[in-house]
């Protein structure tokens, strides 16, 4: 995000009340229509649904400086998803009417929000393609690539460190924990990833991208 836009967002949202949440706390329940917009200044928040098997299926992750739930704020649509902290999280809470007025008077911020919505849609469409036509391996690889691009800590080599776990990858890909563990083992045997106390290391992102859709 452009630093000017980030500064504009901070100036607006930081004047509203702050609230802190511990890790793994649901802050919005499915069926609940919040009367505030949440602006994330620290941490990460997962947006998810519950599958018929009772598994969490993550549809989006919000990190600073993100704000949600905007469909409810802009369109007045009912919220059918859960929002839960993935880490200790700090937010500021603003009235939806104030946020809409702010966006209306700041078209550059509105355009940035629209751009992020489209990037998010590209990610969702990619998931749909791999869900409908891909294998478990390609679905997992796709999630690892997205994780590198959005949240990965770049190393000096060609790789990234991911502060995530197999259960998170399962929730984002719609795969079972057992399937993710099996496919992760295959990737480790091919020296594409490594697991250390720091997290998951993607050793070469370009090589991982080259495997997308491949069964090798």
Mean pLDDT of successive 10-residue segments in the chain (216 residues)?
A: 85 96 95 94 91 77 90 88 95 96 92 79 67 77 86 82 87 85 92 88 89 67
pTM: 0.68
- Looking at the fold, whether 62 and 150 belong to one and the same domain comes out as no
How many domains are there within the chain?
Answer: 2
- Looking at the fold, whether 151 and 65 belong to one and the same domain comes out as no
Whether 181 is in a domain gets the answer yes
Give the residue from 126, 145, 168 where a domain finishes. 126
- Widest CA span in the chain: 54
Note the pLDDT tens digit of each residue in 70-96.
888 888 889 999 999 999 999 999 999
Which residues constitute the domain of residue 13? 3-126
Whether 91 is in a domain gets the answer yes
The domain that holds 177 is classified in CATH as 1.10.10.10
CB atoms within 10 A of CB 184: 18
Cα distance between residue 134 and residue 158, in whole Å: 26
Whether 216 is in a domain gets the answer no
Residues 6+ apart with CB under 8 A from 178: none
**According to the model, what pLDDT value does residue 20 have?**
97
């Amino acid at each position: 995000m452009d630093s000017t836009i980030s500064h504009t967002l901070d100036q607006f949202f930081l004047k509203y009340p702050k609230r802190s949440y511990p890790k793994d706390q649901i802050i919005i329940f499915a069926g609940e229509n919040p009367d505030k917009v949440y602006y994330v200044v620290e941490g990460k928040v997962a947006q998810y649904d519950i599958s018929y098997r009772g598994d969490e299926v993550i549809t989006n992750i919000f990190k600073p400086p993100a704000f949600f739930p905007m469909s409810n704020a802009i369109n007045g649509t009912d919220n059918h998803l859960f929002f839960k902290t993935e880490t200790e999280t700090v937010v500021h809470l603003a009235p939806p009417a104030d946020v809409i007025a702010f966006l209306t008077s700041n078209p550059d911020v509105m355009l940035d929000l629209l751009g992020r919505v489209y990037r998010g849609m590209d990610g969702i469409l990619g998931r749909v393609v791999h869900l409908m036509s891909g294998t478990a391996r390609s679905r997992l690889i796709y999630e690892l690539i997205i994780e590198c691009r959005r949240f990965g800590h770049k190393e000096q080599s060609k790789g990234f460190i991911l502060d995530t776990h197999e259960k998170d990858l399962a929730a984002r890909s719609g795969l079972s924990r057992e399937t993710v563990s099996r496919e992760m083992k295959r990737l480790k045997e091919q020296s594409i990833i490594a697991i250390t106390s720091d997290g998951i290391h993607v050793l070469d992102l370009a090589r991982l991208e080259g495997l997308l859709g491949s069964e090798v």
